[in-house]
């Protein structure tokens, strides 16, 4: 028995010819390119200091009185934003916008203004807030935003950045 030629009875040796190898390689390349295309079209990369605003393209229509989608099943701009990181959403159902987060520098403060909800009642000057901290009326939100970075949906709120005014101890007054 020679060491270089082993054969087993009843077994065929399979040889791949040049065209067979080319077909397998072509099939592997096409398969990988399809997987890569799907991966990149479903991927949302949200960088540091950014957020993604989701906009649903399919689903239940919103009513004329709604300014934003009341639930994730409704079409339109969604309340929740995507934080930093990698997310995957079906591009047939969703579109998205990646925007910068609101950044308030040290020494400044932010005033959050609700853009959605019912109009303020007569004599009210601050927006009404529910138990989740979301505004139910339009207007200036109670409290201020301290220095830092905030993922605030620009379709729901605008933020004005102001310098705080310090009134020294022992003084009274109205600042206009």
pLDDT bin (cut points 50, 70, 90) of residue 150 is: very high
CB contact burial 10-33 (16+ within 10 A = b; e otherwise): eeeeeeeeeeeeeeeeeeeeeeee
pLDDT for position 38: 76
Confidence of residue 19 (pLDDT cuts 50, 70, 90): confident
> What's the confidence (pLDDT) of residue 8?
62
Res 89: pLDDT? 92
Query: 173, 140, 170, 169: which is closest to 157 by C-alpha?
Result: 140
What pLDDT digit, counting tens, does each position of 45-103 carry? 999 999 999 999 999 998 888 888 989 999 999 999 999 999 999 999 999 999 999 99
Burial (CB < 10 A; 0-12, 13-18, 19+), residue 149, is middle
pLDDT higher than threshold 90 for residue 133: no
Residue 161 binned pLDDT confidence (cut-offs 50, 70, 90): very high
d(CA 156, CA 112): 10
Q: What is the mean pLDDT of the chain?
A: 85
* CA distance readout (Å), 42 to 15, 51, 62, 70, 82: 40, 16, 25, 24, 14
At 165 the pLDDT is 81
Rg, Å, the chain Cα set: 29
Per-residue model confidence as pLDDT tens digits over 24-37: 888 888 888 888 87
What pLDDT, on a 0 to 100 scale, did the predictor assign at position 170? Answer: 82
Taking a C-beta distance cutoff of 8 angstroms, is the pair 54, 78 a contact?
Answer: yes
Q: Which residue has the tokens 């990646």?
A: 98
Mean pLDDT of 112-119: 89
Percent of the chain clearing pLDDT 90 (strictly above): 45
Nearest in space to 108 (alpha carbons), one of 149, 140, 59, 61: 149
Residue 130's pLDDT is what?
85
**Averaged over 135-147, what is the pLDDT?**
90
């Amino acid at each position: 028995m020679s060491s270089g030629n082993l054969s087993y009875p009843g077994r065929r040796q399979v040889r791949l010819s040049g065209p067979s190898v080319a077909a397998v390689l072509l099939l592997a390349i096409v398969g990988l390119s399809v997987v890569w295309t799907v991966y990149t079209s479903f991927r949302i990369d949200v960088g540091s200091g950014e957020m993604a605003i989701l906009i649903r393209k399919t689903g239940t229509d919103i009513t004329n009185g709604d300014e934003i989608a009341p639930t994730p099943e409704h079409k339109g701009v969604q309340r929740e934003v995507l934080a930093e990181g990698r997310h995957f959403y079906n591009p047939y159902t969703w579109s998205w916008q990646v925007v910068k987060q609101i950044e308030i520098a040290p020494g400044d403060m932010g005033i959050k203004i609700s853009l959605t909800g019912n109009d303020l009642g007569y004599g009210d000057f601050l927006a009404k807030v529910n138990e989740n901290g979301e505004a139910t009326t339009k207007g200036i939100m109670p409290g201020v935003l301290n220095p830092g970075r905030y993922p605030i949906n620009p379709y729901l709120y605008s933020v004005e950045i102001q310098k705080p005014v310090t009134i020294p101890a022992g003084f009274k007054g109205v600042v206009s």
